[in-house]
């Protein structure tokens, strides 16, 4: 007697669902695997959509990762496009599927994988149903936006939302020659980055003609205007709404599946739900943050693919576990690259965790080799050297530095490990002391008590009484721009001018990027100055906060 084949149904394709199906087939040649996708395309490069609109990617077919026919031929999968799962009966292990012709049918399953993804938020703002207001989720959305830009006389676009999708859309629409205004309700764009870092990206956008309206929100969409809470009206031929996403799980409400407060599906380490034989993954699930193991939602393609592999493994009897998401991400902002991993300061403050911060601004590779450019790296770490997060901005070399730090975090490493890493070095690629090493050295100096630091934002307020601010750069550097009320004593002259400092209670020193300030602080401490602090990141970090 032939054993009946196991039927595994997967709801949703793209990153999570498609990778689950492919892994399942590699592990089980005989299972019946069915993918249900309500749209036309089973797997496409959704991260590439803005770049097709901006015509960096010229061939639309390049965005089609795999086709239903390829999945059938290579993996023997039953791919059903234009098929929407509208309900699940977990008790009887059946699901209801609706075709595009509105007919529906029921199908039983042995195992069910839910990968419905997330959909763009569309809050109930007056006028939001206008055809001029578009969102970007799939190829059809991409085609509509590109058609408007290609075939109309649109000249001005308002992008509502300063997250990753919003900023990518702003850049790509600007590449097409349109005037772009980004409206963001928060004080700054790109929420994963702290204020002292995100200003680099904001200045890059403004330098390329993108107007930023920060700390203001939309109250109404009118015929040719976007009305803001401040009362300002911004003209718009086209509005791109990118204010965030929500899990696309409405069809699972009241089904018995356990959902989180915002509609995310709750899963364990094996990506199992509370229903027998039912798994979930991708943007629709709630995960734990790798660093503190607290529940969160981080919609990224990388984790979705990894979760798909874990789901397939567990269905097939392998004990794979998902250990959490740390939120490593990167974005191109014109000529700038911005990347981050782990927690930022705001997140740590919300948790009440104690932490330290260092800023370094080294060159991307050896300064004497042509083409070196400065990058800015921020490291956030704990009392015992544990690494909580990192952020970096620059023209080149940003990705590999954040990738290295993200790897050290995942391996449970500390700032001591950053100092010991042996990384690739040749003048065209790095320096003998890589920026990652330098960040580790700076953090290590704080933890062992060799230096105390002050964050640059502290200087935006009045100096505490009894504090003398000393600029240890050269006189020429000081004359080109300095922090107000600072005394200029170049570090090379410091030992000979100590008498100018003895009448003060505390000395704060700074240089251009932090290293000479560290040298100066060590000199002063060893000459008997007990209260000395170095401005983290130096004048570079301060000037970015003040737009100097």
9 is catalytic: no
Q: What DSSP state is assigned to residue 264?
A: P
Q: Within a 10 A sphere around the Cβ of 365, how many other Cβ atoms?
A: 23
Sheet bearing 285-288, strands edge to edge: 265-266, 285-288, 295-296
How many C-beta neighbours within 10 Å does residue 397 have?
22
Beta bridge partners of 295: 288
C-alpha 351/C-alpha 200 separation (Å) is: 26
Q: Starting from the edge strand earliest in sequence, which strands make up the sheet with 233-235, in order?
A: 218-221, 225-228, 233-235
Measured CA to CA, the distance from residue 127 to residue 140 in angstroms comes to: 22
Q: Which residue is catalytic, options 47, 316, 424, 511?
A: 47
Going across the sheet that includes 7-11, the strands are 78-81, 32-37, 7-11, 111-114, 278-280
In order of 160, 167, 201, 204, 209, the CA distances from 332 in angstroms are 18, 9, 9, 11, 16
Taking residue 539's Cβ as centre, other Cβ atoms within 10 Å add up to 27
What residues form DSSP beta bridges with 227? 220, 233
CA separation for the pair 152, 431 (Å, rounded): 50
> Please, which residues have CB within 8 angstroms of residue 496's CB and are 6 or more apart in sequence?
none
Enumerate the active-site residues.
47
């Amino acid at each position: 007697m032939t054993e009946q084949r196991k039927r595994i149904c997967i709801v949703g394709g793209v990153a999570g669902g498609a990778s689950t199906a492919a892994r399942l087939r590699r592990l089980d040649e005989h299972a019946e695997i069915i993918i249900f996708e309500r749209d036309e395309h089973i797997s496409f490069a959704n991260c590439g959509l803005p770049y097709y609109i901006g015509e960096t990617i010229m061939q639309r077919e390049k965005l089609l990762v795999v086709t239903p026919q390829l999945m059938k031929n290579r993996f023997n999968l039953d791919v059903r496009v234009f098929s929407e799962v509208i309900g699940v009966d977990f008790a009887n292990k059946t699901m209801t599927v609706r075709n595009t012709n509105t007919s529906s049918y029921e199908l039983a399953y042995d195992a069910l994988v839910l990968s419905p993804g997330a959909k763009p938020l569309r809050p109930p703002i007056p006028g939001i149903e206008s055809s001029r207001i578009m969102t970007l989720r799939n190829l059809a959305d991409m085609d509509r936006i590109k058609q408007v830009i290609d075939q109309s006389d649109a000249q001005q676009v308002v992008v509502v939302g300063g997250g990753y999708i919003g900023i990518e859309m702003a850049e790509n629409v600007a590449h097409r020659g349109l005037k772009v205004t980004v409206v963001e309700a928060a004080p700054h764009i790109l929420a994963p980055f702290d204020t002292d870092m995100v200003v680099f990206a904001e200045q890059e956008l403004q330098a390329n003609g993108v107007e930023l309206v920060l700390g203001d929100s939309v109250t109404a969409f009118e015929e040719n205007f976007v009305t803001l809470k401040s009362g300002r009206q911004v003209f718009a031929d086209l509005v791109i709404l990118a204010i965030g996403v929500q899990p696309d799980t409405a069809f699972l409400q009241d089904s018995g599946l356990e959902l989180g407060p915002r509609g995310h599906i709750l899963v364990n380490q094996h990506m199992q739900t509370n229903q027998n034989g039912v798994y979930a993954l991708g943007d629709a699930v709630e995960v734990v943050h790798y660093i503190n193991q607290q529940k969160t939602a981080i919609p990224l393609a990388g984790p979705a693919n990894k979760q798909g592999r874990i789901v397939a493994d567990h269905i097939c009897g392998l004990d794979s576990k998902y250990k959490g998401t740390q939120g490593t991400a990167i974005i191109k902002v014109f000529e700038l690259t911005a990347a981050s991993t782990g927690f930022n300061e705001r997140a740590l403050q919300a948790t009440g965790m104690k932490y330290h911060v260092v800023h370094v601004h080294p060159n991307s590779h050896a300064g004497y080799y042509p083409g070196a450019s400065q990058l800015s790296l921020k490291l956030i770490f704990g009392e015992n050297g544990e690494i909580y997060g990192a952020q970096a901005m620059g023209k080149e070399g940003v990705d590999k530095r954040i990738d290295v730090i993200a790897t050290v975090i995942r391996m449970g490493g500390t700032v001591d490990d950053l100092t010991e890493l042996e990384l690739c070095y040749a003048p065209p690629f790095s320096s003998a002391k890589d920026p990652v090493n330098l960040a580790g050295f700076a953090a290590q100096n704080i933890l062992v008590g060799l230096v105390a630091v002050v964050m640059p934002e502290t200087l935006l307020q009045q100096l505490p009484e009894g504090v003398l601010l000393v600029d240890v750069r050269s006189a020429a550097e000081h004359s080109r721009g300095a922090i107000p009320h600072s005394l200029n004593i170049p570090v090379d002259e410091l030992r000979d001018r100590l008498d100018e400092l003895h009448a003060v209670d505390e000395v704060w020193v700074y240089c251009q990027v932090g290293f000479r300030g560290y040298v100066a602080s060590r000199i002063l401490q060893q000459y008997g100055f007990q209260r000395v602090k170095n401005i983290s990141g130096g004048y570079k970090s301060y000037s970015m906060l003040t737009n100097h």
